Amino acid sequence: MGLVTRKQLGAWSLVVLGTVYLTVAGGGGFFGLYLGGFRIFSLIVALGAIGAWLAWAARHPEWRPRTSLWPAIVACVAAMVVSAAAAPEPRLAFDFIAYAVLLTGLYLLMQRLLAHPLFGRRLAVLGILLGFGLASLYIGAIFIHWLDFWRDLGRFSTPPLRPDYEGLAYGNPSTIATVTILLWLAAAAHLGFSTNRRRTVLGVLGVLTVGVVFLSGSRGAWAGLAIAVILIVPIWLTMSAHRRRARQLLADRRVRIGLMAAAVTVTAVTVLFLPALIGRLTEPASETRTAFYQSSIRMFLDRPLTGLGPGSWTVERIHYTLPPDLDYYIPHAHNIWLQTLAELGVVGAFGGVLMLLSVAALLRRGIRSGDPLQGRLAWAAIAGIVYLGAHQLFDFYSNMPAVGFCLALTVARLDAMTATVDRQPAPFRSFRLVAAALIVLTAGSSLWLARSEAASVFQDRATHAANAGDWSAAREHAGQALAIDPDMPPYLFTSGLAAAHLGDLEAARDLMIRSARSDDFPTAWLNVARLEADLGDAVAARDALDRAMRLGAQQPQVALGVAMIREELGDHPAAVVALAAAFQAAPGMASDPYWSDSSRAALFSDALSRALGEAVPQIGYQLALEAGWIEDARTIAATLPAADRKAVLLEIEAWAGDQAAFDALHAIARDDPLHDELVARCRRIAARSRDQDWTGPGPWTCDGAGFVAALMVIRVSPPPESRVVLPGPNASWHFQYTYRRTTPVDELVPGLPHLAVVFV
């Protein structure tokens, strides 16, 4: 690779640091996307990198930006601008346009780095090292979880896939699977298979990548890989040179032995992990995704030409979710195609098609170039694009620059090679025009984002103050955020909370109404109802309660709050409906001592009876048990399918204090430690045997029956000191997922009951 000067070494060190940060933290994980400090640091890094590059390019023509994708890039950014201009609520769209401009600049910089004879090769090697590092870290992290699993069991058993939802810094197993797949494709393109050493490197990295994809339990990654292989391999074999190469490989005895060994290994792993595979493949997910897809389609049909604006899906999803669809809080639609149509409409689809056609033309030139490296880059890029397109039928990665970087290792290098061959460096006069446009757009985007993030800094301070109980400081800082960004719902919401805690009820109501109207968040409407009731406006309170219950019936804390206000207003039938919904969302709440108060007895009894009449049997028997209505639980259990009835009947008798029934249930849970629901119910009964009012034998334990599973028992409690994730649709993450802004952990105004998890 030749001698490296000090300047080159310094520049390369910065490239390495920036690449690792972008790939591992700032551009792909929870921290980089949803924490203000990381976003501000990423903004500084991006601005510094683009500025330094353009300054250097002014004196060095070979560094000046040039790409065959210019028309498509301009069309995509223009589509976002048009969509934002027509959007009913364009505030968030401006942030996304600004980020798109910065990402465009970073792509052009990366393309020039890959065109450089020194940096290009080293970036390729860095991508390979990242692939090895991330895959090894993930497999190691999974193994540590397995050790805990086996330690808890006290024996060896088939371990679970994606234990504890392990995803490294990405926070999601599917993301690490996607990143490693794209890094392997880039490694295959850059190295090739011409020597034994290179084949060995790619083989080992391939084994690690397959291991990551398998252990991640990502059905989207599995489907994406399967679709990519089914579509691409036949197309690849249409070329005679490729068929000849395939025959040569199959004629090699070592290759045949390797394929046989791989087949045996796959068979053995499938048999070993069969319970985990079956559990993952049969795990329900259609209810949430169906709700997201339906909301996306409604958005598109409402504004088919320009959509609702870039970044609007998370904000508008609540408005476009219709009961009884699941109101689940998540930052994307789990489908890039539908979300693009919802946010950008036909205009965005046109920009996307133009980009795909431009990239297809680039890949076609690479395949036809006759250059082996360009050919490999083109085929690797095709595989990556097809994989991403298929995977994102069930997921969404456009908000993760780390994934874009991994794909760009192939696309951008091919773009750099064809741009270098096809055209000379731009003359200085032309460069000045391009540089001026980039500088103006980058500076404008950076100034906008700096303003936006400055407000988020004040909001973070408000959140910290509120969490510490200093509501005066919280109100001051939230007001500073509002002064910069006056229509941002999390700032309005926090200001309203602070005003309510300080006794300024009218100001609190006005701020909370503005927040609630912006995104229809049920908790905000519940707060409005409480404030209106405290101010003596029962009509307005009832209207807000209706709005809160539209989707808030799925959230136990919202439904409980609605029930208590309804009862206070004398609306007993409506209170019963709301509390019945809360019991169905969180059956464990029925055993809360809170209901032993005689003033709540009638509401509790009426709501529980209604909930038992409405709930599906799988929920109804649990609700009856938690309430102590054993005979009702037995009656409901008799309606369950025969396959489920045996364990449920044992559970009911164990709850009634039958030692033999608990021992039998415990044995079943030990025999099937991956049956999360069964293990959770066993542990719940063991916890029940340690309650003060327990009269049966014990205390019992469900040790040796698997990981603690996701069954939550909640109680009315004091205000929380940390974020509380309750049963239901993950609503406590609403503001951070939707606006990438923090809000206080206590989201309720004074006078509303809080819920806390006492058993998981």
How far is it, in rounded angstroms, from Cα 407 to Cα 107?
A: 11
Residue 170 has pLDDT above 80, yes or no: yes
- Its pTM stands at 0.91
Residue 434 has pLDDT above 70, yes or no: yes
Take residue 40 and report the two structure tokens written for it. 């501000």
The owner of tokens 């972008």 is: 22
Contact between residue 617 and residue 584 where contact means Cβ atoms under 8 Å apart: no
Q: Give the end-to-end CA distance of the chain in Å, rounded to a whole number.
A: 56
Axis-axis angle for helices 173-191, 196-216 (nearest 10) = 170
Candidates 661, 702, 757, 533; CA nearest to 153 is 702
How far is it, in rounded angstroms, from Cα 688 to Cα 682?
A: 10
How far is it, in rounded angstroms, from Cα 664 to Cα 93?
A: 57
What would the mean pLDDT of 652-670 be, rounded to a whole number? 93
Contact between residue 221 and residue 391 where contact means Cβ atoms under 8 Å apart: yes
- In 3-state terms, what secondary structure has residue 716? strand
Q: What is the pLDDT of residues 30-63, one digit of tens each?
A: 778 888 888 899 999 999 999 999 888 888 888 8
Higher pLDDT, 435 or 405: 405
How far is it, in rounded angstroms, from Cα 459 to Cα 492?
A: 10
Contact between residue 516 and residue 526 where contact means Cβ atoms under 8 Å apart: no
How far is it, in rounded angstroms, from Cα 57 to Cα 428?
A: 10
How far is it, in rounded angstroms, from Cα 313 to Cα 322?
A: 15
Strands 754-759 and 713-717: antiparallel
Q: How confident is the model at residue 633 (pLDDT cuts 50, 70, 90)?
A: very high
Q: What is the pLDDT of residues 59-112, one digit of tens each?
A: 888 888 889 999 999 999 999 999 999 999 999 999 999 999 999 999 999 999
Q: What is the pLDDT of residues 438-468, one digit of tens each?
A: 889 999 999 999 999 999 999 999 999 999 9
For residue 1, the model assigns a pLDDT of 46
Prior bond of 486 cis (ω within 30°): no
DSSP state of 320: T
- In 3-state terms, what secondary structure has residue 104? helix
How far is it, in rounded angstroms, from Cα 531 to Cα 508?
A: 8
Q: How many residues does the chain have?
A: 760
Candidates 668, 632, 635, 662; CA nearest to 650 is 662
Strand partners, 755: 716
Take residue 595 and report the two structure tokens written for it. 């209901």
Contact between residue 438 and residue 105 where contact means Cβ atoms under 8 Å apart: yes
Contact between residue 287 and residue 326 where contact means Cβ atoms under 8 Å apart: yes
**Cβ atoms within 10 Å, residue 486:** 12
